[in-house]
Structures are given as C-alpha cells and as structure tokens.
C-alpha cells in the first residue's frame, strides 16, 4: 500500500486498476497497536529519531496502549556503518514482529536494502517518516483537508524548513519526472499487453472469473 498521495493519483490516471487509497503510516501504527493489544503476541521495535523523541514516542505509545509489547527502541541510525552489526544483532536478539524505522533517505535505503536480509528475525520492516515526531507530540499532524489533498509534505516543510525544504526541492521534481515518464511507459505497455479476456473482465467489474 503506498504512503504517498501522488502514487494514488498517478494510478488513477495511468492504470486500469488504480490504487484504492494510500496508507498513512501514523494511522497504520495506531491500527496495528490496537490489533497487537488484542492479540497480545505481536511485538514492536522502534528505531530512529533523536533520543528525546524516541523516548517520548515509546512513553506515549504505552500510555495509549498499555498492553502493547515494545521489545526495544533506539535512536541509533543505520547510516553509521560502524554501528550496523551491533544494531542488527540487538534487533535480531529481540525478534520483533514489526520494526518501525524512522530514518532519512540514506539510512532508509540501507535499512530496506543491504541490512534487510540480515534482520532475519524481524517479521516486517516499516519505514516511518514523521511517525515518531507525531507520536511523541513533537510535531502536529497536518489538518485533515491537507491530508486528503496530499499536502502533508507542505505541512511538514512548514514545521521543519531547514531539514525538509532542501530534500523536497530535490526529490519532488525527480519523483514527478519518474511518474510522468517511466510509470507512464509501464502503464502503456500494460495496456498493449491486454487480451480480449482482460477487456471483458474490466467491463464486468472483474467478475468474469
């Protein structure tokens, strides 16, 4: 499930079966925490952000969900190569069902890339953006209308211009270029590969099977 609104909008424009909606990571955390409390066997680990922010985020999570099992938390980042083996070993020892990781772009790429196979005792790795800032109360979430319009990035930039303005100025145009070129090429290729059965299936709402 995508977390970015532009992906949903692009899928509606380019794909014959568009994405139904996006998944907001902060909302997802609360949904998962409620389910974990009910099951009493799901364990979470929280990694990233500053020491003060991650401590407050854990305290707030446990105050909201007292039966939530958080097996560990740390502000240490995967971007520091010398610390990666130590961090991986501690996470594997804890064996969380879900690892919520809040990192900037370089560390996030490391977490989802080279380090992911080494985290063999982790059920799911979920990179988390501003989750810990919101959960700790450090930052306010965007108003509902901004969330619905896909403008949360603008709200976050307003709150933290020094940290985020340069990043978004560099990444947003590049992401838009990829959506308008490569994604469109894939969508056109998909349409060309459609068979008469696919067309009939679409006309009947996907119920021909």
Residue 44 CA to residue 134 CA, distance in Å, equals 17
The helix or strand, by DSSP H or E, that contains position 71, with its residue range, turns out to be strand 69-74
Grade residue 208 by pLDDT with cuts at 50, 70 and 90: very low
Residue 75 DSSP code:
-
> What is the tens place of the pLDDT at every residue in 122-159?
888 888 878 899 999 999 998 989 888 878 888 888 98
pLDDT at 8 over 50: yes
Tokens of 41: 């066997």
- Cα-based distances in Å from 152 to 29, 46, 90, 140: 17, 22, 33, 11
Grade residue 34 by pLDDT with cuts at 50, 70 and 90: very high
What predicted TM-score, i.e. pTM, was given to this entire model?
0.70
| Least confident piece of the model among 6-10, 30-34, 155-159 | 6-10
- Cα-based distances in Å from 175 to 7, 172, 178, 180: 10, 5, 5, 9
pLDDT for residue 207: 43
Residue 111 CA to residue 118 CA, distance in Å, equals 10
**What is the three-class DSSP state of 102?**
strand
Contact between 43 and 73 under an 8 Å Cβ cutoff? The reply is no
pLDDT for residue 79: 56
> What is the tens place of the pLDDT at every residue in 59-107?
999 999 999 999 888 876 655 667 777 878 888 888 888 888 876 555 5
Mean pLDDT taken over the chain: 77
Residue 204 CA to residue 6 CA, distance in Å, equals 28
| Least confident piece of the model among 68-82, 106-120, 164-178 | 106-120
pLDDT at 201 over 70: no
Tokens of 51: 């020491």
pLDDT at 209 over 50: no
pLDDT for residue 184: 62
pLDDT for residue 108: 55
Look up tokens 């190569």; give the residue: 81
Residue 114 CA to residue 89 CA, distance in Å, equals 15
Tokens of 170: 């560099």
pLDDT for residue 91: 84
Torsion of CA 18, 150, 111, 45, to 10 degrees: -100
Q: Parallel, antiparallel, or unpaired for β 124-127 and 98-102?
A: parallel
Tokens of 64: 């909201």
What percent of the chain clears pLDDT 70, i.e. is strictly above it? 75
């Amino acid at each position: 499930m995508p977390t970015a609104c532009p992906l949903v909008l692009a899928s509606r424009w380019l794909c014959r079966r568009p994405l139904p909606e996006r998944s907001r990571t902060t909302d997802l955390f609360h949904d998962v925490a409620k389910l974990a409390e009910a099951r009493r066997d799901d364990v979470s680990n929280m990694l990233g952000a500053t020491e003060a922010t991650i401590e407050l985020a854990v305290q707030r999570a446990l105050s909201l969900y007292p039966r939530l099992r958080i097996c560990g938390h740390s502000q240490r980042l995967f971007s520091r190569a010398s610390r990666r083996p130590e961090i991986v070993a501690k996470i594997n020892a804890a064996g969380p069902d879900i690892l919520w990781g809040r990192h900037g772009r370089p560390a996030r790429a490391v977490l989802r890339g080279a380090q992911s196979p080494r985290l063999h005792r982790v059920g799911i790795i979920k990179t988390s953006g501003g989750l810990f800032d919101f959960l700790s109360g450090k930052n306010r979430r965007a108003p509902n209308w901004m969330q619905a319009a896909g403008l949360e990035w603008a709200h976050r930039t307003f709150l933290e211009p020094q940290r985020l303005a340069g990043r978004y100025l560099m990444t947003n145009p590049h992401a838009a270029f990829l959506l308008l070129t490569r994604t469109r090429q894939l969508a056109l290729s998909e349409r060309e590969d459609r068979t008469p059965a696919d067309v009939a299936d679409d006309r009947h709402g996907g119920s021909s099977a």
